[in-house]
Amino acid sequence: MTAVGLVAGYALDAAFGDPRRGHPVALFGRAAKALEQRVWADSRARGAAYAVTCVGAAAGLGVLAQAAARRPFARVAVTALATWTVLGGRGLAAEGEAMAVRLESGDVPAARQRLGHLCGRDASELDEPGLARAAAESIAENTSDAVVAPLVWGAVAGVPGLLGYRALNTLDAMVGHRTPRFERFGWAAARGDDLANLLPARLGALATAACARVVGGRPGRSLAVWRRDAARHPSPNAGQIEAAFAGALGVRLGGVNTYAGRVEDRGALGDGPAPGAGDLRRAVRLSRAVGLAALALAAAVAR
């Protein structure tokens, strides 16, 4: 029943995407933000307690929902709704295509403004190649975070795994930044998200290599770039799938990025030219293919 629910939830996301209003993830984010403002302290222990409370509440809700769904149809329905709630594949593809449209038309100011829908990078000084690179990297990373990882955790732990993972990933996006406010308080959320994504990121990289021919790439080349370049990225997980995407697309990703005034050198990923607008459309196709591969794996191993 879990496998059927995962497939049904994936289909719902592919057909309808995220609701425009009242998205459960957004509601969770607002509740977590309100709690953070009440309990914040420059303390790892306080931040760890905050993360455990938020993630535990989400996973606990999943436990209750799954326990209440005793009949097969109810179990499928609950799993499908949870899967639809946590997946972001359709929205990710839409944002990638929106960026491609703006870059193809030469509207760099509009592309700079749109980039904020994909990532938190400072786009004010980015030119067309820089915008295309930032978008391609975000498509790759979010394919792992918003598609592969939720499916993996759904297969392993059902509805609690789906909701708990999404809660942890959301907390990482909220407080897992190395800023003066969150350097210590967000440490537990950031490290927890790293651990939760260790396996999914590597499965996503393998799936990327397997799907490379969908975008005219070579699986062997994707694997070679992944093995050689993934460790150059400061993240233990994002570099895995970004390097595999670079190899599959035949482009060069990585380099120097700016986040809220903080400069970060991620190293070069791949050997090809800088990506362009057409490569963003290819990245979207690759992301969709990787999502389907992850769904097949999750359905095969789901309990």
**For the chain (length 303 residues), average pLDDT per consecutive 10?**
95 90 88 96 97 97 94 96 96 95 94 89 85 95 97 97 97 90 96 97 98 97 96 92 97 78 77 92 98 97 86
45 Ramachandran zone, left/alpha/beta (phi>0; psi -120 to 50): alpha
Residue 129 in any domain: the answer is: no
Residue 114 in any domain: the answer is: no
Residue 235 in any domain: the answer is: yes
Instruction: Quote the pLDDT of residue 234.
Output: 87
Residue 95 in any domain: the answer is: no
Give the Cα separation of 296 and 58 in Å (integer): 26
The total number of structural domains that make up the chain? 1
Instruction: Quote the pLDDT of residue 121.
Output: 80
Residue 233 in any domain: the answer is: yes
Give the Cα separation of 141 and 145 in Å (integer): 6
Residue 125 in any domain: the answer is: no
Q: Which residues contact 20 (CB under 8 A, 6 or more apart)?
A: none
Polymer length of the chain:
303
Domain that holds residue 204: 2-88+141-301
Instruction: Quote the pLDDT of residue 122.
Output: 79
Contact, 154 vs 79, CB < 8 A? yes
Instruction: Quote the pLDDT of residue 258.
Output: 65
Residue 246 in any domain: the answer is: yes
3-class secondary-structure state, position 239: helix
Residue 124 in any domain: the answer is: no
